[in-house]
Amino acid sequence: MPNATNIPRLFSQTEHDERGNFHYRGDLFQEREALSALCRRIDRHMTATFTDLRFAILSETFAHGRKVIAELLDGPEDLTDRAAQEAFVVRVRDQLERFGFTRSNFYQDYMNCSFYSDVRIGAAYWAALAGRRGAANPVDRTVSLAAFKRQLKAGDQLRLLAPTTHRAYGTTRTVVAIRSADLIFEGKVYLNFPRASGFACDGRLVRIANGSEYDPEAHLLYEWLPHPVQAAVQQP
């Protein structure tokens, strides 16, 4: 059994004093650490600490500081319950905060920290959860997301087949541009690509998972209609 004195004090266990002061310094904090190096250390730590969970460690910089984001991609836990989500966020944030420091006073509206931390439950997690439950409208994964981006051309069309409650249900839209993160339909309508785990395509049907805590099984199902001229060129 480890000695209790060797267990680091966690962010969630730290309280404000009677004057509103809050001071926390993580046991893994390093002075003047570059953001890229910090994210690499956090990534290794999260992998070792949460062995059954998979995260993406992301970062942002802005005028008044920097942010480290731990986005959950997959894991066996069912986080559909609000209380489970809140407990998960606290548990993960405690590990992020071990790499930084925070000084604040809520009476004086003052805060100084080495970085802002953010814990997110990503769309990829909800897609994986829906898959374990038995996702609706399954599509064989014979065309990868990377291959789909290469093969999709301006002039191709996508017809929305599901959900039937979507305002664009049954609508056929023409693709005008394909970018790394999204595609653009005519009329400047954007469709974001998911992570690879949330994408499935069999060459005709395209399934894009976009679930959330409110509807883990949410997705868009399209029929891919290549431009007739391009389709003819692709014929052997």
Distance between CA 121 and CA 85 in Å, rounded?
A: 8
Inter-residue contact 130 to 209 (CB < 8 Å):
yes
Residue of 128, 103, 147, 102 whose CA lies nearest to 198: 128
Buried b (16+ CB within 10 A) or exposed e, 5-14: eeeeebbeee
Residue of 188, 184, 191, 156 whose CA lies nearest to 172: 156
Pairing of strands 101-105, 189-192: unpaired
Residues 6+ positions from 183 with CB-CB distance below 8 Å: 152, 175, 177, 190, 191, 193
Inter-residue contact 230 to 156 (CB < 8 Å):
yes
Residues 6+ positions from 138 with CB-CB distance below 8 Å: 200, 207
Q: Sketch the domain layout of the chain as residue ranges.
A: 8-121, 129-234
pLDDT for position 134: 83
Pairing of strands 189-192, 199-201: unpaired
Consecutive 10-residue averages of pLDDT for the chain (236 residues): 61 92 96 96 98 97 94 95 95 97 91 96 92 88 97 97 92 96 95 94 96 90 85 48
Inter-residue contact 98 to 27 (CB < 8 Å):
yes
Strands ordered across the beta sheet of 54-62: 54-62, 65-74, 116-121
pLDDT for position 233: 47
DSSP E strands, the chain: 21-25, 54-62, 65-74, 101-105, 110-113, 116-121, 157-162, 172-178, 182-185, 189-192, 199-201, 205-209, 219-225
* 128 CB burial (10 A radius; 0-12, 13-18, 19+): buried
DSSP E strands, 20-144: 21-25, 54-62, 65-74, 101-105, 110-113, 116-121
pTM for the whole structure: 0.81
Distance between CA 76 and CA 71 in Å, rounded?
A: 15
- Amino acid at residue number 173: R
Q: How many CB atoms lie within 10 A of CB 4?
A: 6
